[in-house]
Structure 1
Amino acid sequence: MTAQDTLAGSRPAPAAPHELRRRLKVSHVVCLAMADASPAMAVLLLSGGVFQVGGTFAAGAMLVLSVVVILIAMCLGELASTYPSTGGSYSMVRSVLPEPLAWITLFNFVTQGIVIPASLLLGIPIFLKHLMPGLTVPNEVIAFALLVISGGIAITKVEIGARVNIAILIVQLVVVGLIVLAAVIAPAQNPVDIVLHPVALSDGQLVAVTLGMALATLAPAFNVLNGYDAVCGFVEELVGGAADIGRSVIYAAILASVLITVPLIAGVIAAPDLTAFLQSDAPIVYAVESALGPWASTILDIGVIAALFNAALTLQMYFARGVFASARDGLWPPVVNARLAQLNRFSSPGWAVAALLVPSVFLIGMSSLDWLIMFAGTMIATVYFFVAVAALFSRIAHPGIKRPFRMPFWPLAPLIVIAFTGYALLTQTRDFLIGELVLAGIALLAWALSKLWRRAG
């Protein structure tokens, strides 16, 4: 069934067993999105790769990206309010663009829900053992136990998961505040120079950042400021009108930009030695410990552990709803759809959560997830690229449809996002591009096979 059929009203309303309950307020979904964006994790961990590529231009890159993120949120907000479905980005693309592109979006979308939580939970034992040096339990065992705990929360009532995430998010805000405090108490770098005169390491020496280095920084920075789109995965559980989801995703994007960009810049300001800062595996941690002393390391460890678990839980809840929506749309063989489109007694997509947890168990057993973690950035850029294309063509293809939330600056906003994400994809290394082509090929094969089982059904 095509998106045009859906808009024409030929698609039947979902049966009651497949309807999610509206139990979340705007504050709930925004907090869920903040848990996915995970400011403490983004600043303390994910930013390390950005500093390696572009030096202190990481600060400028985040400022640029903050603007782009608001434009992406505008596209997401209009599409989510116009085509409200818990499938998030996949459902938006399916409602506007040809079905093969929707399948590519779906595979990029769902694969993140398998790879990223597994990698996040594998990171927790590292910081846990730093807090408790006597702990000898293997990292994989700890990660597996945390996977079971987070999965158990993810299949309960959605408001329980939201409350857990809000509580852990408070811990993250304490950590983010600590980084800003370090810059206030012990400023060592001029913020104007950080932004306007960035430097990077070259053969152990500080050199001025070139235009090429600056452009290359944008792609990895794209992976740091992310997660605000999780709002769209809870659209069918949001109390209120469809316009609320548009405002919610804008609020989430603004909050994520502030809570990640400000402490990242503060961390650079607090760095006493830029050479040592850029040579560190965790530059922001180095800066905070230098400014506040070793005691800050304990708080940072606790904050990172909370952030990693927080993000893993939210991602399981978010991406499981995408799997649930795809089954409800009848994309898979009938026997698979029957299971994945079921809601449990908590009105949560329990089988969809399990569909993500099972392959995550195997990934946790892998010796290294580094390539898959970095490949997640390519998948994110691909999804946003198709979302922007859908936001551009939605008004052209369906001019008469009601839009509870209309983005400002159309078509400028989607055009800028298309250019930015397209550039981010083109500047990926060859192995990531090959990986994306393989994933797209698998998605197209699944689309072709789906015609057979849908015809049989």
Structure 2
Amino acid sequence: MTSSSAPAPALKPTLSVADVVAITVSSVTPASSVFVIAPFAIAQAGTGVIWAFMLGGVLALMFALCYAELGRAHSAAGGEYVFAKRVFGGMAGYATFLTALAMLVFIPPVLATGAATYLNAALGTQLDGQAVALVIVTLGYLLAILNIKLNAWVTGICLLLEVAALMVIVVLGFGHAQQPVSSLVSPLVLDNGMLHAAPWALVVGAIGTALFSFNGYGGAVLLAEDMKCGGRGIPKAVLWSLVLLVAIEVIPLVALLIGAPSLAELTSFTVLLILCVYLVVGLCALFSRVLRRDREHPYRMPLWPLPALVAVTGAGYLLTTLLAAASARDIFIIVGILLVSGLLYGTYGKLSPAFQKL
């Protein structure tokens, strides 16, 4: 047998659980969540944003448990659309794939657009927000093509820099407190220049924004094939990613509100996409053990099916609430994604050997 006929060596998994957590948390860019997304939630719910983020963290934990179990039972690089395909069939897989793809396309520019505001303030420049967002997104894609182990180190360093920046807010906020803690316990919102008690409807409405802020911890399941321990470390990676994200974002947010001298249109479409994907993940976690008895579930979430039920109920309630207030454009895009999913699955998906093997 000649050397040319020898089988090509398989890619060697090199990531530890810590590496996966570093990549996952860095990809969420928690500093962007605090500086870009949180202000919209504050404008919506006032100091009630803390309750929204705490409730959002509890709901995100339910989703994280769903990701942990599904990522272990259906270990594959595809993530959510693989879950949907294996549990509910090809059409569900295609619809989830296009929804997740749209979500991944829109989220980076939304976060990056806010960078120009802070760069202009720091440098005294007048950089265009869209141009800055394009540069940041391009650099992010270039970084993504690096060796996965090197990527973990680079993103880990970036995460440390983000945490350092947020620690400045923590020190300044708690060190120069100007607002009473009671403003966090009893939410206040600014209305026509006057502070009023924030209705809990506003707080609940801001939970979707909080989920947007935390979104990305489920991305750890995409790296299962690159882990040295195989998929065994996925549950730990998902849960630790969420815990770190909540801590890194909520603590500076509390400091920001406490230290603020005064309490003075996030893309709703992106939040709708996130909730659609979360709803699918929750449903998959609820029915995977029942419909796919042929697959082992090495990691089983505690108190199943309660976390999955809470996840589905929470995502369903927020999704229907936001859809009721959504613009015709947003609804049209969501319906369009579903129609395109059906068309692609009917013309290509059923004939694709790669998709059928998932």
Identity of aligned residues (%): 23
**Correspondence 1:426 to 2:324:** no
Say whether residues 1:118 and 2:109 are aligned partners: yes
Q: Which amino acid aligns with 1:212?
A: A
> 1:84 Cα deviation (Å)?
0.5
- Partner Cα separation in structure 1 for residue 121 and residue 334 of structure 2: 36
1:401 corresponds in structure 2 to 295
Is structure 2 residue 343 aligned with structure 1 residue 449? no
* Aligned residue number for residue 249 of structure 2: 260
In structure 2, do the counterparts of structure 1 residues 385 and 17 end up closer, same or farther at CA, with 3 Å as the change threshold?
Answer: farther
Q: CA deviation at 1:37?
A: 2.4
Contact kept? 1:31, 1:166, Cα under 8 Å: yes
What residue number does 2:3 align with? none
Distance 1:244 1:411, change over 3 A: same
What is the aligned partner in structure 2 of residue 76 from structure 1?
67
Structure 2 vs 1, CA of residues 117 and 37 (structure 1 numbering), >3 Å: closer, same or farther? closer
**One-letter code of the match for 2:84?**
V
Superposed, 1:313-332 pairs within 5 Å as none
Which residue of the partner structure matches residue 281 of structure 2? 387
What's the offset of the Cα at 1:212?
A: 2.2
Counterparts of 1:453 and 1:133, CA distance in 2: 56
Give the letter for the 1:231 counterpart. Answer: A
| Kept in 2: contact 1:34–1:227 (CA 8 A) | yes
Aligned-pair CA distance for 1:249: 0.4
Contact residue 31 and residue 162 of structure 2 kept, 8 A = yes
Q: Residue 236 of structure 1: SS of its match in structure 2? A: helix
Give the structure-1-normalised TM-score: 0.70
Instruction: List aligned pairs for 1:33-432, cutoff 5 A.
Output: 33-133=24-124, 142-191=132-181, 193-273=182-262, 277=263, 279=264, 373-399=267-293, 401-428=295-322, 429-431=325-327, 432=330
For the structure 1 residues 134 and 71, does the alpha-carbon distance in structure 2 shift closer, same or farther, using more than 3 Å as the test? Answer: closer
SS at match of 1:223: helix
Contact 1:84 1:235 in 2 (8 A): yes
One-letter amino acid of the structure 1 residue matched with residue 201 of structure 2:
G
- Report the residue type matching 2:347 in the other structure: L
- Deviation per CA, 1:149-168, whole angstroms, max 9, x where unpaired? 33332122111221111111
Please give the root-mean-square deviation of Cα atoms over the aligned residues, in Å.
2.4
Map Cα deviations across residues 360-410 of structure 1 (whole Å, 9 max, x no partner): xxxxxxxxxx77x43111111110100000000011112353222111121
Partner SS, residue 427 of structure 1: helix
Deviations 1:117-151 (A, max 9, x none): 23444443443333333577x65555544444333
**Preserved CA contact (<8 Å) 2:56 2:208:** no
How far does residue 453 in structure 1 lie from its aligned partner after superposition? 4.8
Specify the SS of the correspondent of 2:348. helix
Letter in 1 for 2:303: F
How many residue pairs align between the two structures? 344
Q: Kindly state the Cα deviation for residue 211 of structure 1 after the two structures are TM-superposed.
A: 2.9
* Alignment check: 8 A CA contact 2:268 2:326 kept: no
* 2:224–2:234 Cα contact (<8 Å) kept: yes
Please give the alpha-carbon distance, in whole angstroms, between the structure 2 residues aligned to 1:183 and 1:198: 18
Structure 2 contact 235–299 (Cα < 8 Å) conserved? yes
Going from structure 1 to structure 2, the CA distance change for 1:208 and 1:124 (only over 3 Å counts) comes to closer
Distance 1:227 1:68 in 2: 14
Q: CA deviation at 1:17?
A: 7.5
Q: Distance in 2 between matches of 1:128 and 1:233?
A: 32
Change beyond 3 A, Cα 1:443–1:183: same
Amino acid at match of 1:131: A
Q: Residues 40 and 452 of structure 1: is their aligned pair in 2 closer, same or farther, counting only changes over 3 Å?
A: closer
The TM-score normalised by the length of structure 2 is 0.88
Structure-1 separation of matches of 2:147 and 2:230: 21
Code of the aligned partner of 2:340: I
Aligned mates of 1:247, 1:202 — CA distance in 2? 43
Does the CA contact (< 8 Å) of 1:153 and 1:160 recur in 2?
Answer: no
Find the counterpart in structure 1 of residue 4 from structure 2: none
CA distance in 2, matches of 1:53, 1:124: 21
Structure 1 position 445, deviation (Å): 1.8
Partner in structure 2 of residue 436 of structure 1: 334
Query: The residue matched to 1:206 in structure 2 has which SS?
Result: strand
Where does the alignment leave 5 or more consecutive residues of structure 2 unmatched? 1-6
> Structure 1 stretch 231-240 or stretch 202-211: which is displaced more?
202-211
SS of residue paired to 2:302:
coil
**Structure 2 Cα separation of the partners of residues 387 and 185 of structure 1:** 41
Give the Cα–Cα distance (whole angstroms) in 2 for the partners of residues 94 and 435 of structure 1: 22
Q: CA deviation at 1:434?
A: 3.3
Corresponding residue number in structure 2 for 1:325? none
Provide closer, same or farther for how the CA distance between residues 111 and 18 of structure 1 changes in structure 2, counting only shifts above 3 A: farther
Superposition deviation, residue 253 in structure 1: 1.0
Task: Tell me which amino acid in the other structure corresponds to 1:450.
Answer: Y
What CA distance in whole angstroms lies between the structure 2 residues aligned with 1:260 and 1:126? Answer: 20
Q: Displacement of 1:266 after TM fit?
A: 1.7
Unaligned runs of 5+ in 1: 1-15, 280-369
Give per-residue Cα distances to partners, 1:231-274, cap 9 Å, x unaligned.
1111110110422111110111111111111211121111232x
